Amino acid sequence: MLKSTTEALMADERAKKHHVLADRLQRALSAVPVTPPALTTSATGGGTGREAIIEIQPQMRLDDLLLPLPVRENGRQLVEEHVRADVLRAHGYEPRHRILLSGPPGNGKTSFAEGVAEALALPFFVVRYDALIGSYLGETNARLRKLFDYVRTQPSVLFFDEFDAIGKERGDTHETGEIKRVVSFLLMQLDQLPSYVVVIAATNHAELLDRAVWRRFQMRLAFPAPDRNQVEVFLDRIISNWPEAPRLSVQKIAAKMETASYAEALDFCQNVRRRNILGLGETGIDDALETELDLWSARVRPERLNAERSEQTAAVAEEPIPPGSARRKAKEHRQA
């Protein structure tokens, strides 16, 4: 239902030549979490501002995450500034409340935002772009206004995932005036938001963000993929809770995995346990691990597909040209 409505909306956008908007809508939609929606949104459609928000019960705790030192420290400061906001205000300061998270998928951006909400015991609101972006001129801004009017009524953590979908460079040549208006309006709303609303925006592509957008954020935190050592620590944490320890050390497992996001490493471990559990005693943890390691090397990874593609093109470009061939002569002629 949600999907068909959004598809209709996108078709509508395309029909009106709002391709950029439609593309962004599409990308933003794919970012909306699959956690059961709607239950907490207003069913009346009367425009309370809650339509474009999903409230999620924060489960993740900041302490459950393995975070780079600066992220951990900034997270701690952020929480303290809000817990003790009265002290700051007594001295004429406001807690910081506009946070930008960037980094490749699966390394804790959403979890961090959730962890902040959990630590502050605030509602965690995730913005639904599919319900935000309208097809009529000015409709998106009208909905944004309602969203912000609603949000400013109480302290909360407001999460914009895939923020580059809307906060992208305004200098695009294909840019429609409507998108410029939406971005400007969004920036203005962010500026005017009271500090008890913690806005956290996440992006896989910080470099795509408009400078004016970038500047709005008081804290900008990088969530890089874990290095080998961090993968080992992460695996160890998970595996030490298994009823049976595999013979292979976490160092060896991490070495075989080469690179992984935290989310991928977690998936991997869960799959090993699934094999193990369904094996009903027939499949030992070592067999399960071996099976999954074999599958791991064959898995599809978008980044790797791209890398392989560019390696192939590079290989073609550098393929040696046999001496004396017509191509060689042509090349020498060009270089002369």
Residues that bind Mg ion (CB under 5 A): 109-110
Does 259 help bind ligand ADP (rule: CB under 6 A)? no
Does 222 help bind ligand ADP (rule: CB under 6 A)? no
Among positions 262-281, residues that touch ligand ADP (CB under 6 A) are 262-263, 266
Q: Which does 266 bind (CB under 5 to 8 A by kind): ligand ADP, Mg ion, none?
A: ligand ADP
Among positions 19-48, residues that touch ligand ADP (CB under 6 A) are none
Q: Which does 223 bind (CB under 5 to 8 A by kind): ligand ADP, Mg ion, none?
A: ligand ADP
Q: How far apart are CA 141 and CA 166, in angstroms?
A: 12
Neighbours of 321 (CB within 10 A): 14
Judged by beta carbon, residue 105 or residue 284, the one nearer ligand ADP is: 105
Query: How is residue 322 annotated by DSSP?
Result: P
Residue 206, CA atoms < 13 Å, CB-side half-sphere: 18
Does 65 help bind ligand ADP (rule: CB under 6 A)? yes
Residue whose entry in the numeric block shows the structure tokens 């059961």: 36
Does 208 help bind ligand ADP (rule: CB under 6 A)? no
Q: How far is the CB of 118 from Mg ion (least distance, A)?
A: 16
Q: How far is the CB of 273 from ligand ADP (least distance, A)?
A: 14
Strand order in the sheet with 219-222: 53-56, 124-127, 156-160, 197-203, 98-102, 219-222
Does 106 help bind ligand ADP (rule: CB under 6 A)? yes
Two tokens, residue 227: 């290095």
Does 115 help bind ligand ADP (rule: CB under 6 A)? no
Q: How far is the CB of 143 from ligand ADP (least distance, A)?
A: 24
CB 159 within 8 A of CB 126: yes
Two tokens, residue 189: 């709303």
Residue whose entry in the numeric block shows the structure tokens 């500026």: 191
Q: Choose the binding region for ligand ADP from 3-11, 180-188, 259-267, 272-280 (rule: CB under 6 A).
A: 259-267
CA distances from 256 to 77, 186, 250, 299, 307 (A): 37, 45, 10, 13, 19
The residues with which 157 forms a beta bridge, in sequence order, are 124, 198
Does 111 help bind ligand ADP (rule: CB under 6 A)? yes
Judged by beta carbon, residue 110 or residue 189, the one nearer Mg ion is: 110
Q: How far apart are CA 306 and CA 232, in angstroms?
A: 26
Q: How far apart are CA 251 and CA 247, in angstroms?
A: 11
Query: Quick one: which of 6, 102, 107, 276 contacts ligand ADP (CB under 6 A)?
Result: 107
Q: How far is the CB of 75 from Mg ion (least distance, A)?
A: 16
Binding positions for ligand ADP, rule: CB under 6 A: 65-67, 105-111, 202, 223, 262-263, 266
